[in-house]
Amino acid sequence: MNDHDQARLLLNELIDGELDAEQRQMVEAHVENCASCTDEVEALLVLQARVGELPGEIMPPRDLWNDISERLQPASPSGVIPLRRAVRTPRPRWHVWTAMAAAASVLIALSSAVTMQLLSRQDAPVVATAPDRVSPEQRPQTAMAAFEPMQREYLGTLAELEAELQARRGSLSPQSVAVIEENLQIIDQAIIEIREALRTDSSSVELPLLLSGVYRAKVDLLESVLRLNAQT
């Protein structure tokens, strides 16, 4: 991964103020000399301003939380062995279960937000409007269109991480592989649900932000697995 790719993956953290001084200086220096990254930062700032208008908290359905919490509980003797125990690494620096819990949290928020959005569309009164006479060039860029460049970066990074994981698959126990694949399936299902919702509402501001969070959770999970594997 080159400097450009690394900087683009840190743009969200730059906007959120989560980078340390060295990382911030590196990313800001890159953005100053990269037109595409400058455009993405501006798009992210617009998204950040819009998301500030959203409700501060959305509680997940209880049945969904019960289903996910069961996945996070330590496995029974007849069940799947937790990854950190399966690889037999004492007190690893990077705990895969931390990334898995983050992925589950993203899925909870995703399902709740998508459900709320779909229900609000169903309950909204139908209002007749005049035909749209604005030319495509005059229409404002949708949130999803603004997110497309970063989505391509996520997909490229995920392809590299998944290829690396496949190359190291033989060094992982079958139990570890089962845990990893189960949690990747959770995240992939969340991605499918968001994309389906976006086909219905391509102008949504919330859905691209949720999609970004799910991609980030998948990157974190794969990076944690690979780093933990490298320590063994």
Give me the tens of pLDDT residue by residue for the chain, a chain 232 residues long.
Answer: 677 878 888 887 888 788 898 988 998 999 898 888 888 888 777 666 665 555 444 444 444 344 434 544 444 444 444 444 433 334 343 344 444 445 555 555 555 555 455 445 444 454 444 444 444 444 445 667 777 888 888 898 899 989 999 998 888 888 888 888 888 888 888 888 888 888 888 777 778 888 888 888 888 888 888 887 776 6
Distance of CA 168 to the CA centre of its chain: 23
Q: 62 and 44 in one domain?
A: no
How many domains does the chain contain in total?
Answer: 2
Whether 132 is in a domain gets the answer no
pLDDT at 1: 60
Q: Are 67 and 141 members of one domain?
A: yes
Q: Judge residue 132's burial from the number of C-beta atoms within 10 Å of its C-beta, 0-12 exposed, 13-18 middle, 19 or more buried.
A: exposed
The closest of 123, 113, 230, 118 to 168, measured between CA atoms, is 230
Co-location of 3 and 96 in the same domain: no
The parent domain of residue 26 ranges over: 1-53
Residues 69, 21: one domain? no
3-class DSSP assignment, residue 91: coil
- Is 130 within the bounds of a domain? no
The answer to whether position 143 is within a domain reads yes
Cβ atoms of residues 179 and 72 within 8 Å: no
User: Does residue 148 fall inside a structural domain?
Assistant: yes
Distance, CA of 74 to chain centre: 24
Q: What pTM value is reported for the model?
A: 0.47
Tell me if 164 is assigned to some domain. yes
pLDDT for the residue 162 = 92
Residues 39 and 75 in one domain: no
Same domain, 70 and 4: no
Q: What is the pLDDT of residue 191?
A: 87
In terms of domains, do 45 and 64 share one?
Answer: no
Tell me, yes or no, whether 131 lies in a domain. no
Q: Do 38 and 79 sit in the same domain of this protein?
A: no
* Three-state DSSP state, 17: coil
Same domain for 33 and 87? no
Same domain, 99 and 189: yes
Same-domain pairing of 14 and 111: no
Do the domain assignments include residue 162? yes
Residue of 169, 182, 185, 165 lying closest to 79 (CA atoms): 182
Are residue 79 and residue 165 in the same domain, yes or no?
yes
| Domain stops at, among 53, 77, 92 | 53
